[in-house]
Amino acid sequence: MKKSIKIALGLTVGAAALFSLMLDATAFIMGRQFGRGDYPKDRGSEQTAFGWYPAFEADYPREEVEFQSGRLMLRGWIYGAEHTDRLLVFAHGIGSGSEAYVNQLCWFVDHGWCVFAYDAAGSGDSPGDTTVGLVQSALDLNSALNYIEQDERLKDMPKVLLGHSWGGFAVGGVLNFNHDIKAAASLSGYAYPLEMLDQGAVNVLGTGGAMLFRPFAHIYNKIVFGKYANLNAVDGINKENIPFLAMHGESDEFVLYSLGIISQQDRITNPDAEFYTITGDFAHHNDYFHSDACNRYVAAQYPDVSLPQEELLGIFSNEHTSDADKSLFRAVNEPLLERIEAFYEKSLS
């Protein structure tokens, strides 16, 4: 009897040690996957400034603000403060910060919008050793909206949301909270963080490794996010029933189309939800933000790739780049932005 007890105790201790080891390994992997998303150190240099805010500063002054999100004090900016009748709140993707979308933000300013953009946890000019995880973007957007609702200049403006990828999830996920939002548009946003996490595990570890890793990843997600661990975009979209536009590139290999909000039409009961599939040669994860001419210029040199802002800058920022080529880099996908703005205007009318 005593021997059986010792064996059972040994197995229990061994299982506990293995469980602890797996959680530690999971925390290490998650920390690597959700590392900081920094801006390039030379974004203010003469060669690269044209693709970042320094090139826009003279024509688009912005006001810096700070707001609390969890333990961090995040940094945000108000563009186009002279516009006081409508506010666009922007949530960026993972791996950089809001300034990676400065071309698009300034387009909205040109069209009469006040824009509130910010750098989320572990991103850009905001603090944080990591970006924490896939739910974090919605929590940071919730904090941004809490700040806006206390700001005397911003609180009474009709508010719409726009987000890409990590931020594309955020504009749906944040609807689980109580905010007065008139409309939201998600670009390449995933619907369920845990499903996206599972796919990421497959990409990194393969199918077999992912099966072993998955339960520990879900436990880690619960430890980190607590009561928000199961936060998802579909519940938020259905809860608020505000006009919601989900757009997604058909060739997206980062947030697969099958994991996007756009693929959840059978679960979305919101009658004011709209869905638009981006098609064509430039329907990946990042390239559709740029003009067709810009994408074709890049594709001629780097066929069959979808490059983020930082890598595109590498193409355009050599010392021989002409002013015309720099302008080409800054050209936005006008039809896409016009479609989004028309959706907002219909919602605000």
For residue 186, the cross-strand partners are 163, 246
Give residue-wise pLDDT tens across range 148-197: 999 999 999 999 999 999 999 999 999 999 999 999 999 999 999 999 99
User: Could you tell me if 168 and 192 are in contact, meaning their C-beta atoms sit under 8 angstroms apart?
Assistant: no
- How do the domains of the chain map onto residue ranges? 46-192+232-348
Q: What global pTM score does this model have?
A: 0.91
Strand order of the β-sheet with 114-119 is 62-69, 72-79, 114-119, 87-91, 159-164, 183-187, 244-249, 273-278
Average pLDDT of the residues in 317-340: 83
Q: What is the DSSP letter of 93?
A: P
What is the rounded distance in angstroms from the CA atom of residue 129 to the CA atom of residue 39?
Answer: 14
Q: For 254, how many CA atoms within 13 A lie in the half-sphere containing its CB?
A: 21
- Mean pLDDT for all residues in the chain: 88
DSSP 292-312: HHHHHHHHHHSTT----HHHH
What is the rounded distance in angstroms from the CA atom of residue 336 to the CA atom of residue 292?
Answer: 11
For residue 208, what are its two tokens?
A: 């077999």
pLDDT of residue 41: 85
What is the rounded distance in angstroms from the CA atom of residue 319 to the CA atom of residue 302?
Answer: 19
pLDDT class of 73 with cuts at 50, 70, 90: very high
What is the rounded distance in angstroms from the CA atom of residue 74 to the CA atom of residue 140?
Answer: 9
User: Could you tell me if 43 and 112 are in contact, meaning their C-beta atoms sit under 8 angstroms apart?
Assistant: no
- Interacting residues of 41 by C-beta distance below 8 A, sequence separation 6+: none
Q: Is the pLDDT of residue 315 over 90?
A: no
Give residue-wise pLDDT tens across range 224-280: 999 999 999 999 999 999 999 999 999 999 999 999 999 999 999 999 999 999 999
pLDDT of residue 302: 67
The helix/strand/coil state of 348 is helix
DSSP 124-180: TTS--SB---TTHHHHHHHHHHHHHTT-TTTTTS-EEEEEETHHHHHHHHGGGS---
- CATH architecture entry for 46-192+232-348: 3-Layer(aba) Sandwich (3.40)
- Interacting residues of 104 by C-beta distance below 8 A, sequence separation 6+: 289, 332, 337
Average pLDDT of the residues in 75-99: 97
The helix/strand/coil state of 63 is strand
Give residue-wise pLDDT tens across range 112-128: 999 999 999 999 999 99
* Token pair 């506990």: residue: 16
Distances (CA, A) of 325 to 55, 56, 144: 14, 16, 36
- Interacting residues of 226 by C-beta distance below 8 A, sequence separation 6+: none
What is the rounded distance in angstroms from the CA atom of residue 221 to the CA atom of residue 224?
Answer: 5
User: Could you tell me if 305 and 44 are in contact, meaning their C-beta atoms sit under 8 angstroms apart?
Assistant: no
What is the rounded distance in angstroms from the CA atom of residue 102 to the CA atom of residue 80?
Answer: 13
> Between the ranges 22-31, 35-44, 305-314, where is the mean pLDDT highest?
35-44
For residue 158, what are its two tokens?
A: 């009709």
Number of Cβ atoms within 10 Å of the Cβ of 194: 19
Give residue-wise pLDDT tens across range 56-72: 999 999 999 999 999 99
Q: What is the DSSP letter of 31?
A: H
pLDDT of residue 210: 67
